Structure formats: C-alpha cells, structure tokens
Amino acid sequence: MKITFYGHASLGIEVGGKHIIVDPFITGNPAAAAIDLRELKADYILLTHAHADHVLDVEAIAKLHSAVVIVSNAEIASHYAKKGFNAHPMNHGGSWKFDFGKVKYVNAIHSSSFPDGTYGGNPGGFVIESEHKNIYIAGDTALTMDMKLIPIRTKLDLAILPIGNNFTMDVEDAIIASDFVECDKILGYHFDTFGYIEINHEEAIKKFFDKGKDLMLLEIGESIEL
Ligand code: NI
Ligand code: MN
C-alpha cells in the first residue's frame, strides 16, 4: 500500500492495483500548486465530509476519469449521483468490500455542509483493510470515544489523524486518539493550510516521540509505503 500526501487532507492511496483519492482539495491550496490534477490516477474518490476543503476538486477529477466511483455518506453520494457521477453510498458503521479491499465508514465529530450550504449528511472517517495492511483515515474530527471501537475489529498499521487544531483535534488530542485506536504510527494531516491551523512541526513530532509514537509529516507530493 502506497500513500501520497497531496496537502491539507488530500491523499492518494495505491492499493490492490487501484488508485484512490481521498478528500481532493488541491487547486484551492497554493501550497499544492506543484500537483497537477490531470496526472492523478483515480478509480475511487473517498470523501469524509462535504466541506469545500475536502471536495473542491471532486468533479474535476471525476470528469477526467469517467469510471471513477465516489464513496461517501448517503447524502454526499446522492449529491454526486444526481450530477451524473458514479457513487457508492455508505453510512456509519457499515462496510463494503470493494475490488481493492474493505472500507468501513466510521464516526467523526464535525459538521458536513456543502459550500452552498446544502446538507452533506454526517461527517465520517474510513477504515480501509487491504493487502494485509489496515489504515484509519479519521477525517476532520474531535477526539471521540468512538475511536476505541476501531481496534476491537481492526489491528491498524497506520492512523491518519488531523492535528491542526481549531477545526479538529490538536496534537495532544491526536496523541490520545492514537491510544484509543491502538496505533503508534501516525500520519498527521489537516495542518498549515490556513492561518488557523499552522503548527510547529518539530514540536508536534517531539510530543508524539515522547509518548513512544511516530508522527510522520510528509511534504506535499511525498509518499510512504506500508
Ligand atoms: Ni471540515
Ligand atoms: Mn477540513
């Protein structure tokens, strides 16, 4: 499994021969100017919630890849299905076996309206089990006790957690979240993009390190292999 950071909360996942894009917000992020949407491969787009900083480039990517399947909560899926895109609706606690692996839509504490104010269902995160590697993509969320449910069913190899504070967990809460999901390997995201969520990288890495945990902060365009 290969995971590429495209800035903010945008990820590319290569797994089982498929390409997954998560929460594409690239053209709206000056820091991600080097990423060219037309060069991204996409068989699936996973969306945690409907906020603009997570869905901005969904339609542009879907238009470049006519077979792409948009996977999200029922409201977001039907929003895109009505526009003629392929969509797979899910809801909290449900999972589905796709051709690349199993995806479960899990709780997040946040909000989820589209940029025009229409209802975007309830926000979530994803647990992906594939190629004997399991990852948790938390989405935008507060620290929540529901995270403790995840390791009951799934032994995680990586937890992707928001650490930017203000709209989501801060570093300290993300450390507790990594305890809750029982995973000491963390990829931080949702930081630095806007003034509200700028963080000190060295300080964040040290805080995780002091608790025996490994926080990775990737450059935009950088990848890790699991
Ligand atoms: Ni959000
Ligand atoms: Mn966000």
Distance between CA atoms of residues 154 and 67, nearest Å: 30
Fold that domain 2-223 belongs to in CATH: Metallo-beta-lactamase; Chain A (3.60.15)
pLDDT in tens, 142-199: 999 999 999 999 999 999 999 999 999 999 999 999 999 999 999 999 999 999 999 9
Q: Ligand 2 mean position to 88 CA, how many Å?
A: 22
Query: What confidence score (pLDDT) does residue 166 get?
Result: 98
Query: What confidence score (pLDDT) does residue 157 get?
Result: 98
pLDDT in tens, 105-115: 999 999 999 99
pLDDT in tens, 111-139: 999 999 999 999 999 999 998 999 999 99
Strands, DSSP E only, in 35-117? 44-46, 69-73, 86-90, 95-98, 101-107
**3 strand-pairing partners:** 13, 224
- Residues 99, 15 contacting (CB under 8 angstroms): no
pTM over 0.85: yes
Ligand sitting nearest the alpha carbon of 50: 1
Residue spans per domain, the chain = 2-223
Distance between CA atoms of residues 148 and 46, nearest Å: 23
**Around ion ligand 2, which residues have CB less than 5 A away?**
53, 140
Q: Is 61 helix (H, G, I), strand (E, B) or coil?
A: helix
Q: Ligand 1 mean position to 72 CA, how many Å?
A: 14
Distance between CA atoms of residues 226 and 220, nearest Å: 18
Q: Ligand 1 mean position to 71 CA, how many Å?
A: 17
